[in-house]
Amino acid sequence: MMTPANRLDPKQLLTRKSFIELSARERAKALLDEGTYRELLGPFERLESPWLPMQGVVPQSDDGLIVARGTLSGKDAAILAIEGRFQGGSTGEVSGAKIAAALELAQHDAENGWPVQVLLLLETGGVRLQEANLGLEAIAEINSSMVALREHVPVVGVISGMVGCFGGMAITAALCSYLIMTRQGRLGLNGPEVIEEQSGIEEFDSSDRQLIWAVNGGEQRYAAGFVDDLVEDDVKLIRERVIEAFGRGVPCRHRSEQVEDYLERLATIDVTHQLEIRHFGRLWSKRVLS
């Protein structure tokens, strides 16, 4: 089991290179071994969303999804990096198809004796609402590809922030063999605004940042065992932890396969009282990952 990163000292804070501040393309470049980065289906292929312009929304030439190939610590790697600044990193028909196809390709390679390390840089609000059903279908394809691929090679996910990882893509995050977060990252099925809209401000105040990070933040997710590693916002540290995660190989039981354990825990929750975050921490702190 890994221990969470110690907070950076003042000198480290000054000399660190922020990962969060990088664009998706810069992130992929920063993680791969120097000089090995190459992009598949890049901007000049112009695989943009056909649906956004019809609705008066400016599309992006790569649909906000970077497929990068190269090596990581000398081993073949593919990085799927979502650009959170374009449409909140949402998954549309094209960006979703790029992820699903890359995962399938990696599965094909792995089955033919050529294991490729697959890394997801998740920065997404989930399905792109303008593409509704096509986005949902894409996520279904991605998730079934994840389950098939992770039998062969570990799939690692990083949620660094500041968008976080929500909606259908949070399910994808949960399917990862290993998940790495920063304190700034957030992970949740429904985003704070969705919960407030659906259940009222008494249930969840989406303007309360402290509450949001206490529920969805990296520190909380790590404490509850939904995430394997908590890391500071630093390119070098994140790269080290990603390499370390791949080094652990395919887990004998993925977190999402531990259904019985989670059901058992859910059964012990007293739903007649509002659950406090500190109680939740106590209840879920026993890590089940084998």
Given the rule CB under 8 A, which residues bind other proteins? 23, 42-44, 53, 56-61, 64, 83, 85-87
Dihedral (CA of 125, 226, 142, 25) sign:
positive
Extract the tokens encoding 42: 């890049």
Minimum distance from residue 47 beta carbon to other proteins (Å)? 13
Identity of residue 106: A
> Which one, 57 or 129, has the nearer CB to other proteins?
57
Cis-peptide into 162, omega within 30 deg: yes
Minimum distance from residue 23 beta carbon to other proteins (Å)? 6
> Which one, 81 or 173, has the nearer CB to other proteins?
81
Minimum distance from residue 184 beta carbon to other proteins (Å)? 18
Residues in the chain: 290
How many whole angstroms separate alpha carbon 23 and alpha carbon 274?
39
SS3 94: helix
Give, as one character, the DSSP assignment of residue 62. T
Minimum distance from residue 22 beta carbon to other proteins (Å)? 11
Helix then strand then coil, % of the chain, to nearest 5: 45, 15, 40
Minimum distance from residue 161 beta carbon to other proteins (Å)? 15
> Which one, 24 or 187, has the nearer CB to other proteins?
24
Minimum distance from residue 14 beta carbon to other proteins (Å)? 26
- Antiparallel, parallel or unpaired: β 165-166 and 75-82: unpaired
Minimum distance from residue 56 beta carbon to other proteins (Å)? 5
How many whole angstroms separate alpha carbon 105 and alpha carbon 231?
29
> Which one, 91 or 220, has the nearer CB to other proteins?
91
> Which one, 85 or 282, has the nearer CB to other proteins?
85
> Which one, 92 or 154, has the nearer CB to other proteins?
92
> Which one, 58 or 263, has the nearer CB to other proteins?
58
Minimum distance from residue 21 beta carbon to other proteins (Å)? 13
3-class SS string, 114-170: CCCEEEEECCECCECHHHHHHHHHHHHHHHHHHHHHCCCCCEEEEECCCCCEECHHH
> Which one, 87 or 91, has the nearer CB to other proteins?
87
Buried b / exposed e over 9-22, threshold 16 CB at 10 Å, is eeeeeeeeeebbeb
How many whole angstroms separate alpha carbon 32 and alpha carbon 42?
17
How many whole angstroms separate alpha carbon 177 and alpha carbon 186?
18
